[in-house]
Amino acid sequence: MSNLSVFQTLRQDNPDLFTAAGLSALLGDCLCVKYPEHHKFTYPSLLNLDVYLALAEIDNSIQHQKIIHLIMANPNAWPAIVKSGRKSDPNSGKLFYADYGAWLFLYYRIRDKVYQLQKNLNISGVSQRHISIRDRLFSFPKEEALVLMLHSDACGNIKDERTILQNAVPEITNYFLKLVEISPAYNLFLVGENNKKIPTTAVEVEKAASKAVKAEIDSQSYNWKKISPKRGESEPIDLLDPDEIHLCLHLDWDNNEVLFFEAHHPDKSRCPWAN
């Protein structure tokens, strides 16, 4: 399979392949080919061994032939077997994990190829996210975790995408605080050590945001079911007024210092774990 045909195949899975989100999803899928039953693939074609090897640009060199030999020595370990519902040899897992270095080698080849493609095509490492919380629409820039943030374009011109993220912090923070104020007003907390919820104020959130270089926001709600006097189980659900709204503030680019703020629905029965 040629280099061109492999990307044509992947674009049939996802027409948005050549975007920050598309390339990030591709690398995410590549990380999960060993356990596909726990992952929803954006690019199911990767479960075809020929496609995966073509993406890694394996050639006829001695080193690459050794890699292929390791993989093909136990083809039943390839996750397409799992995906199709057929059972492989019960001992195949031993060889599969013994050959972990071969799979890691392939992933890093693909990752480096994707990074170079991203630079050549000048594909941003930041995508625009669109969300709706408490019936309020909002769009904000978000760094895609598995691809590069570009500091220059293919011609060497300066293009620091960190500026895009930093400039969005005040707007994201303001959106978060406005959501908190909508009736019924939510209770605001700073998340401390051991996940301790410390009551706080909008002023403190704004003060922390003034020092942040990046901000992220999300919400979550759960359908809780009591299965015993002291135990319960839950599953995620979508609610107009979510159980919790989260604001994450990064104070540096290396994620060494991060502040978490949470807004909880005033109905305490919504959050039994906090009672």
Strands (E), 113-196: 126-133, 136-143, 187-191
Averaged pLDDT of the chain: 82
What single-letter DSSP state applies at residue 272?
G
107: buried, middle or exposed (CB in 10 Å: 19+, 13-18, 0-12)? middle
Q: What is the pLDDT of residues 147-192, one digit of tens each?
A: 998 876 556 555 678 899 999 999 999 999 999 999 999 999 999 9
Neighbours of 100 (CB within 10 A): 10
Instruction: Specify the higher pLDDT residue, 76 or 97.
Output: 76
Q: What is the DSSP string of 12-73?
A: HH-TTTTSHHHHHHHHHHHHTTT-GGG---S-GGGGSHHHHHHHTT--SSHHHHHHHHHHHT
Q: Do 102 and 56 contact (CB within 8 A), yes or no?
A: no
pLDDT range class, residue 36, cuts 50, 70, 90? confident
Q: Is the pTM of this model over 0.85?
A: no
Q: Do 49 and 71 contact (CB within 8 A), yes or no?
A: yes
The CA distance from 140 to 128, in Å, is 6
pLDDT range class, residue 96, cuts 50, 70, 90? very low
Report which residue type is found at 99. Answer: D
Measuring CA to CA, how many Å separate 234 from each of 142, 148, 229, 231, 251?
A: 28, 36, 15, 10, 33
Q: Do 29 and 43 contact (CB within 8 A), yes or no?
A: yes
3-state secondary structure of 108: helix
Residue 89 pLDDT > 50, yes or no?
A: no
Measuring CA to CA, how many Å separate 134 from each of 65, 128, 176, 222?
A: 56, 20, 11, 15
Q: What is the pLDDT of residues 212-267, one digit of tens each?
A: 999 999 999 988 777 666 666 778 888 999 999 999 999 998 888 999 999 999 99
Percent of the chain with pLDDT over 90: 52
The CA distance from 82 to 70, in Å, is 19
In residues, how long is the chain? 275
Structure tokens at 220: 């979550």
Residue 84 pLDDT > 80, yes or no?
A: no
